[in-house]
A and B are shown apart, each in its own frame.
Chain A
Amino acid sequence: MLSIIKKIIACLALTSLLMNAYAKNISYPPVTVGILVPMEHRAMDEIVAGFKETLTQRYPGKITFLVKNAEGDINLQRSILQSFKQKSIDLYAPIGTQTTQMTLALITSKPVVGIAAEYSQKNDHQRKRNFTLVDDSLSVTKQMQFIHSALPNITEITLVHSPSDKILPEVKEAVHAGKTYGIRVQSLMVQQLSDLYTISQHIPQKSQAIFILKDILVASGIQTLINQANKLHIPVITSDDGTVQNGAAFAVGVSEHQIGTEGGKLAAEILKGKDAGQVPFKTLDHLLVFLNKNAAKQQGLNITDIQAAAKKANYTTIATDELEKK
């Protein structure tokens, strides 16, 4: 008798499990997500990886990802969006400002999650379109504050930057914030990667550090800046994990993977039924400190000072060996 009851309970439990799984599939239908990448870059791969991982974890239904790279060609970018349209994409995830702008100009009937993008209409309460975004612009003031806290003796910094739409306002902010902390920020603009060597030769002797923002163009040539920094015996401070892995002393910023993760969270909310227009824009407020201990020592920095400043600011410190393990 007892065995029969046990069998009935087991059957009921199994049926309940199957019903539950079935119900989940019904409430969360399979979806197709189109990810539009503007160009080939390691940072883009990291964003895509973070986005896919998070969305897969947070959305219970089946997800098909279509990832296409426009290779920096706007005609190709447009063709990709048109091909997405034909494949009945449920959610568009363009990476970058320009890519998001084109997606919004072309796609009106489906939700769009712009990743690492900025939108001119900052007041998102007035949004009429079916989209939301992850704004990856950092608080440069916070970065300058951290640099001042970790290296209080620094009074002269050279900021090397590109003329990107995201970077220029950040440069202004850095100059302004520098004044608050008694740091004179000298900005040097690089229009193309081939100019970086020449520009790096003009970093003044009195400069006490080289600083770069989350700037894809300059980050691509980080080695040139590190060579020059070694000559001048000054540290290179950056804003992303990749450059620290490549030899910068430390970075205070966000990881590309984290940007993708935030995009994935927004996409999951929308796919679960929220109206994209009602999902607030996500800004990345919590900064991380990426530390390359060897490079920092070589560039004359005291690691404990950086770690102490990170602790004081309540930022998580991630060493490069931990990043490599990831």
Chain B
Amino acid sequence: MATLMTALLQTLFFIPLTIGVYLSYRILAVTDLTVDATFVLGAAVFARLITLGFNQPTSIIVAIVAGALIGLLVAIMQHVVKINSLIASILAVFMLYSINFQIMQKPNISLLDTHTTLGQLQIANNTMLLIIMLSIIAVLILMLCIFLYSRAGLLLRAYGSNIKLLRSIGKSPLLFLIIGLSLSNALAAFCGVINAQINGYADLNMGMGMALTAIGSVVIGQHLMQKLFYKKNKFNPFIDCLSCFLGTYLYFTLVNYFLLIGINPVNLKLVLGLVLILFLGTAKYSRHRELYEQHDS
């Protein structure tokens, strides 16, 4: 039971990043690994500002905006400079290492002596922390669902599933790529803020492997949801968000369970990687995307 609760809390700390990756990977059908670095950027901006004496809301908002700004730049790199999405994101991660360092001025900022809401709640009242995190995530998912059901959301989805349609109705694909990637990276930065508060520090290397974990969670969650619970092919952002939640929860439950039964963490990544290959190989939407690309060319 304790393992399930631990996994649930970890899922809540990580889910904004999974949803961010869902937006880029599933909705825009773009492979964006920038989240590895925007996760750190969010933590870095938040930690720097709060240690400089700014209040929490300001620090959080600036961190989220910084993440969104990076999304905008990556979109321009992809669409205007015509760099392949994967390469553009790798380049962004490469450059953001220096930017994050410049923001933090040192590789690690400790927040142990700084008052942060989530950090304090973690020490004082775990149930309250769970309730607050559940509320934050519920509001986040609700806002995302409303957006994706809106006209702008529909056009955003068109970018990923039928970019020709977008062009034929006179809409700029760049605009929707910017919106999508900015949202995705803003969510990653927000996730970084949460983790900085919970873990008590921001560190230059804290983003390692985040994108892959999130992509894995999206793929596993969607696959399981389609196989087990929701077999309709109709787009439903709420079900998709639930899938993200399911995938992330399953990931953390597995990690915690493996640790509990004594599996060496060295072997953990191999096992999880193999599971991911299995799911990625059978993912339906990756084939859809390939099909569209073939049509486009």
A interface with B by C-beta (< 8 Å): 40, 68-76, 78-80, 82-83, 85-86, 97-98, 101-102, 104-106, 108, 119-121, 129, 163-165, 168, 191
Contacting pair B112 A76 (CB below 8 A): no
Q: Say whether B97 contacts A75, CB under 8 Å.
A: no
* Chain B, 1-26, CB within 8 A of any chain A CB: 2-3, 6, 10, 14
Out of A71, A101, A164, which one reaches B112, CB within 8 Å? A101
Tell me if B268 is interfacial: C-beta within 8 Å of chain A. Answer: yes
Q: Which of B3, B119, B201 has the most CB of A within 10 A?
A: B201
Identify the 9 closest CB pairs spanning chains A and B, nearest first. A105-B200, A165-B108, A101-B201, A165-B107, A82-B6, A120-B110, A83-B259, A102-B199, A101-B200
Chain B nearest CB, measured from A140 CB (Å):
17
Among B134-142, B203-211, B239-247, the stretch that binds chain A is: B203-211
- Nearest CB to that of A192 among chain B residues? B97
Contacting B252 at CB < 8 Å: which of A40, A75, A104, A129?
Answer: A75
Please indicate the chain B residues that have their CB under 8 angstroms from the CB of A165 in the complex.
106-108, 203
Question: Could you give 20 example pairs across A and B, Cβ below 8 Å?
Answer: A69-B264, A69-B266, A72-B208, A72-B209, A73-B269, A74-B203, A78-B199, A79-B10, A83-B3, A101-B110, A101-B199, A102-B199, A102-B201, A104-B112, A104-B200, A105-B112, A105-B122, A163-B101, A165-B107, A168-B107
- Which listed residue (A76, A101, A129, A164) contacts B265, Cβ 8 A? A76
B265 lies within 8 A of A71 (CB): yes
Per-residue contact bits, chain B 213-242, to A (CB 8 Å; 1 contact, 0 not): 100000000000000000000000000000
Q: Is the CB of B2 within 8 A of A78?
A: no
Residue positions of B touching A, CB distance < 8 A: 2-3, 6, 10, 14, 97, 101, 106-108, 110-113, 119, 122-123, 195, 198-201, 203-206, 208-209, 213, 252, 255-256, 259-260, 264-266, 268-269
A residues within 8 A CB of B205? 72
Cα–Cα, bound, A98→B113 (Å): 14
Residues of A within 8 A of B264 (CB): 69
Interface centre among B3, B10, B199 (most CB of A within 10 A): B199
The answer to whether A191 touches B97 (Cβ under 8 A) is yes
From B39, which residue of chain A is reached at the shortest CB distance?
A74
**How far apart are the CA atoms of A104 and B119 in the complex, in Å?**
11
Residues A73 and B200 in contact, CB atoms below 8 Å apart: no
B interface SS class = helix
A85 to B199, CA, bound (A): 15
* Contact call B122/A76, Cβ cutoff below 8 A: no
B265 near A68: Cβ-Cβ < 8 Å: yes
B207 to chain A, nearest CB (A): 9
Whether B256 and A83, one on each chain, are in contact in the complex, defined by CB atoms closer than 8 angstroms, is: yes
Partner of A40, one of B2, B111, B266: B266
Interface contacts beyond A78-B10, A82-B3, A163-B107: sample of 10 additional A-B pairs, CB < 8 Å, sorted by A: A68-B259, A74-B199, A76-B265, A79-B252, A80-B265, A82-B6, A86-B260, A101-B112, A101-B201, A165-B106
- B111: chain A residues at CB < 8 Å are 105
Shortest CB distance B21–A (Å): 14
Q: Is the CB of A108 within 8 A of B123?
A: yes
CB within 8 A of A86: which of B2, B112, B195?
A: B2
B residues within 8 A CB of A80?
259, 265
Q: Are B122 and A106 in contact (CB under 8 A)?
A: yes
A40 to B107, CA, bound (A): 20
Distance in Å: Cβ of B108 to nearest Cβ of chain A: 4
CB atoms of B260 and A163 under 8 A apart: no
Q: Which residues of A contact B97 (CB under 8 A)?
A: 191
If A104-B200, A106-B122, A191-B97 touch, whether A79 touches B6 (CB-CB below 8 Å) is yes
**In the complex, chain B residues whose CB is within 8 Å of the CB of A78:** 10, 199
- Known: A69-B266, A71-B265, A105-B119. Contact between A98 and B259, CB under 8 A? no
Question: Do B259 and A75 have beta carbons less than 8 Å apart?
Answer: no
Q: Which residues of B have CB within 8 Å of A102?
A: 199-201
A78 to B268, CA, bound (A): 14
Q: Which of chain B's residues has its CB closest to A78's CB?
A: B10
A69 and B265 contact, CB distance less than 8 A: yes
Given contacts A83-B260, A165-B106, contact A74 B206 (CB under 8 A): yes
Asked if A98 and B2 make an inter-chain contact with CB atoms under 8 angstroms apart, the answer reads: no
Task: State in angstroms the CA–CA spacing of A79 and B14 once bound together.
Answer: 13
Q: Which residues of B contact A72 (CB under 8 A)?
A: 205, 208-209
Nearest A-chain residue to B201, judged by Cβ? A101
> In the complex, what's the smallest C-beta–C-beta distance from A66 to chain B, in angstroms?
9
CB pair B195–A74 under 8 Å, yes or no, is yes
Please measure, in the bound complex, the distance between the C-alpha atom of A88 and the C-alpha atom of B149, giving whole angstroms: 48
Whether B14 pairs with A75 at a CB distance below 8 angstroms is: yes
Pick from A71, A78, A163 the residue with the most CB of B within 10 Å: A78
The interface residues of chain B lying within 8 Å CB-to-CB of A163 are 101, 107, 204
- A129 CB to closest chain B CB, in angstroms? 8
Query: Within the complex, which residue of B113, B195, B198, B259 is in contact with A121, where a contact is CB–CB below 8 Å?
Result: B113
Whole-angstrom distance between the alpha carbons of A68 and B258 in the complex? 12
Q: How far is the CB of B216 from chain A (nearest CB, A)?
A: 12
Closest CB in chain B relative to A201 CB, distance in Å: 20
B90 smallest CB distance to A (angstroms): 13
B203 to A, closest residue via Cβ: A98
Chain B residues with CB under 8 A of A71: 265-266, 268-269
Measured between C-beta atoms, what is the minimum distance from B20 to chain A in Å?
A: 16
From B107, B108, B208, A73 is in contact (CB under 8 Å) with B208
Q: Which residue of A lies closest to B197 (CB)?
A: A105
B123 touches A98 (CB 8 A): no
Assembly CA distance A215 to B75 (angstroms) = 37
Which residues on the B side are within 8 Å of A73 (C-beta)? 208-209, 269
Q: How long is the Cα–Cα vector from A102 to B265 in the complex, in angstroms?
A: 18
